[in-house]
Structure 1
Amino acid sequence: MANIMSKSVSGSQSKNQLSGRASALINIFFVIYSALCILPLLLIVSVSFSDEQSVMTHGYRFLPENFNLAAYRFLIKDIDQIVHSYGISITVTVIGTILSVIVIAMYAYPISRSHFPQAKFFTFFVFLTMLISGGLVPWYLVYVQMLDLRNTLWSLIMPLIMSAFWVLIMRTFFKETVPEAVLESAKIDGAGELRIFIRIVLPLSLPVLATVALFQTLTYWNDWFLSLVFISDNHNISVQYFLYKMMVNIQYLSSNPNAMAEITRAGGMVNFPSETVRMAMVVVGVGPIVFAYPFFQKYFIKGLTVGSVKG
């Protein structure tokens, strides 16, 4: 009896040791993986605060060899336009994300209900848009000629409101997570479809709503193509498009010695911070959106895993 008990104790101890080693290996893996994700961002920040000549001579370093703010002083020359473009991007991102989550949820909820007669048709319809596109020219003509949205903030919001992929994800979440019995009980108590959707379905669906909101926030914030297509002046351009234009101009000046000579002759910058300015643009463009992630992190993984289950 004592031998059996000692064997069971030793067996459980060996299992605990193996479990502890596995947990340690998993933790080490994720520490290394997190470092690989963070280190490039730290390198970008370091280069943006470096001297242009030291970067060109010695390459990128995690610690600036010669601390220099020339890249940010160069960007500050257009501080008014940067602040204005920041305001445009923040406005478009906030309004676009809210409208996008509302529209996607209102489309996904009906097609998730089994008693909706046209659920299969509308599900196939939204899925078809993921496979077939009308093309760039008809897409442009719809927003410019039919809707007359050129040079307006709505031209930066409307094209990104609907996402077929997130409609299907949210549909699956509603179908798998929201119990039919709860909805039937609400109907028996006299609640209408709109009241059920607002009072019951949405509160139970915070994980998927937050997940969709996070990805739509990133989509709106990182978009520069819509400003390129629909905005013909600098009044309503997003910060991403403004930085893109600045980067293109820097690349042109860096590759054109004659233009650089003219700028220097006219009293411009002698040491043009081309490489460090690119990194400073990344910091300026990425900085604000980094702070949005912690607000959605609580629901992020749950929303993706539950919403990705096949319904």
Structure 2
Amino acid sequence: MATRTVYESGLDRFNRPSKGVNILLHLLFFFLAVICVLPMLVVLSVSLSSEDSIRENGYHLIPTAFSGDAYGYIAKQGTMILQALGISVFVTIVGTVLGILLTTSMGYVLSRPNYKLKGFLTWVVFIPMVFNGGLVSSYYINANLLGLKDTVWSLILPLAVSSFNVIICKTFFKSTIPDGLIESAEIDGAGQLRIFFSIILPISLPVIATIGLFLCFGYWNDWFQSMLYINNQDLYSLQALLNNLMSNVDALARNASSLGISYAELVATMPKESARMAVAIVIVLPVAFAYPFFQRYFISGLTVGAVKG
């Protein structure tokens, strides 16, 4: 017993990094954190800067001349901003819930060793990770075959399921859910749907939170689907609105007639650069506040799903 204790203590000393290594690691991660946070601080600074100071001095970490004109201008565009925000929130919530249901159910089915089509469907899931069908074919299916163009479902369905998320769920269920648990439920007379919703999902919170976070970020940050399928400005999301701002500084001025302001006057008085950054801040803040609540499950789900293949 004493020999084992001495061996374990020696092993701990061997595996434990030295004080100097700990300091270097802390400095490295602090430096990486600063690199990640710095662009966000610059965006915030520009959104709080006056348009004249941006033209004269460029972008700065600390505003040379504070101004809230950008946020005031966005507040005046209340109808358009709120409508875009509502579309983004709806798409994110509905898409995340639908994506979790589809992804976890497919991953659970593929993780069961006695499922007859397991091999075939595994290839069906794996092949799209290597060979993409292409933009033209996906557009034809979504817009023409399914008739999703200019509907909110064109922003939801194309992103609901990905092969990567399915494989994460499959690995998690295969390495975490014991076969005996499912067999005992079947002996008690529970059907597969009852087993999945009453037993599997409640004990799979880490992978659900992980997939949910992936889906939430994907839906919230997506603008490409809007560019492909949406022509109706009433269905623009915040991300599509920001993309239009970056490519065309007149994007916020499209509702000038409804506001009773001339187009030229609106464009002339619009805080262009700061307004772009202010919209970016509005988009980033909800995700930044939500991430800490999911971080624990996110890390746990990734590590558990990466243990076994």
TM-score, length basis structure 2? 0.85
Q: Which moved further from structure 2: 128-137 or 155-164?
A: 128-137
Q: Secondary structure at the match of 2:150?
A: coil
Following superposition, the deviation at residue 146 of structure 1 comes to 2.4
Following superposition, the deviation at residue 272 of structure 1 comes to 5.5
User: In the TM superposition, what whole-angstrom CA distance separates every residue of 1:137-172 from its partner, at most 9, and x where no partner exists?
Assistant: 332222223222222211111111111110011101
Q: What amino acid is aligned across from residue 242 of structure 1 in structure 2?
A: L
Taking the aligned partners of 2:263 and 2:141, their CA distance within structure 1 comes to: 48
Tell me: CA distance 1:16–1:205, structure 2 relative to 1, closer, same or farther (3 Å): closer
Following superposition, the deviation at residue 99 of structure 1 comes to 0.3
Unaligned stretches of 5+ in structure 1? 1-10, 253-262
Tell me: CA distance 1:133–1:264, structure 2 relative to 1, closer, same or farther (3 Å): same
Taking the aligned partners of 1:305 and 1:287, their CA distance within structure 2 comes to: 27
Tell me, yes or no, if the aligned pair for 1:264 and 1:270 is still in contact at 8 Å: no
Taking the aligned partners of 2:82 and 2:158, their CA distance within structure 1 comes to: 24
Unaligned stretches of 5+ in structure 2? 1-9, 252-260
Q: What amino acid is aligned across from residue 301 of structure 2 in structure 1?
A: G
Tell me: CA distance 1:185–1:287, structure 2 relative to 1, closer, same or farther (3 Å): same
Taking the aligned partners of 1:299 and 1:54, their CA distance within structure 2 comes to: 43
Q: Does 1:129 find its partner at 2:101?
A: no
Q: What amino acid is aligned across from residue 250 of structure 1 in structure 2?
A: V
Residue in structure 1 matched with residue 104 of structure 2 by the alignment: 105
Tell me, yes or no, if the aligned pair for 2:73 and 2:270 is still in contact at 8 Å: no
Q: What amino acid is aligned across from residue 127 of structure 1 in structure 2?
A: F
Q: What amino acid is aligned across from residue 54 of structure 2 in structure 1?
A: V
Q: Secondary structure at the match of 2:167?
A: helix
Q: Secondary structure at the match of 2:79?
A: helix
Taking the aligned partners of 1:119 and 1:50, their CA distance within structure 2 comes to: 57
Following superposition, the deviation at residue 66 of structure 1 comes to 0.7
Following superposition, the deviation at residue 186 of structure 1 comes to 2.2
Residue in structure 2 matched with residue 95 of structure 1 by the alignment: 94
Q: What amino acid is aligned across from residue 283 of structure 2 in structure 1?
A: G
Matches within 5 A, 1:140-219: 140-219=139-218
Identical pairs, percent:
44
Q: What amino acid is aligned across from residue 306 of structure 1 in structure 2?
A: V
Tell me: CA distance 1:155–1:267, structure 2 relative to 1, closer, same or farther (3 Å): closer
Tell me: CA distance 1:265–1:35, structure 2 relative to 1, closer, same or farther (3 Å): closer
Tell me, yes or no, if the aligned pair for 1:74 and 1:277 is still in contact at 8 Å: yes
Taking the aligned partners of 2:145 and 2:118, their CA distance within structure 1 comes to: 29
Residue in structure 1 matched with residue 254 of structure 2 by the alignment: none
Q: Secondary structure at the match of 1:137?
A: helix
CA RMSD in angstroms, aligned pairs only: 2.8
Tell me: CA distance 1:135–1:269, structure 2 relative to 1, closer, same or farther (3 Å): closer
Tell me: CA distance 1:266–1:84, structure 2 relative to 1, closer, same or farther (3 Å): closer
Matches within 5 A, 1:1-311: 19-250=18-249, 266-268=264-266, 273-311=271-309
Following superposition, the deviation at residue 16 of structure 1 comes to 11
User: In the TM superposition, what whole-angstrom CA distance separates every residue of 1:60-87 from its partner, at most 9, and x where no partner exists?
Assistant: 2222111012222333342211100100
Taking the aligned partners of 2:187 and 2:263, their CA distance within structure 1 comes to: 81
Q: What is the total number of aligned residue pairs between the two structures?
A: 292
Taking the aligned partners of 2:163 and 2:266, their CA distance within structure 1 comes to: 49
Structure with max Cα Rg: 1
Tell me: CA distance 1:192–1:59, structure 2 relative to 1, closer, same or farther (3 Å): same
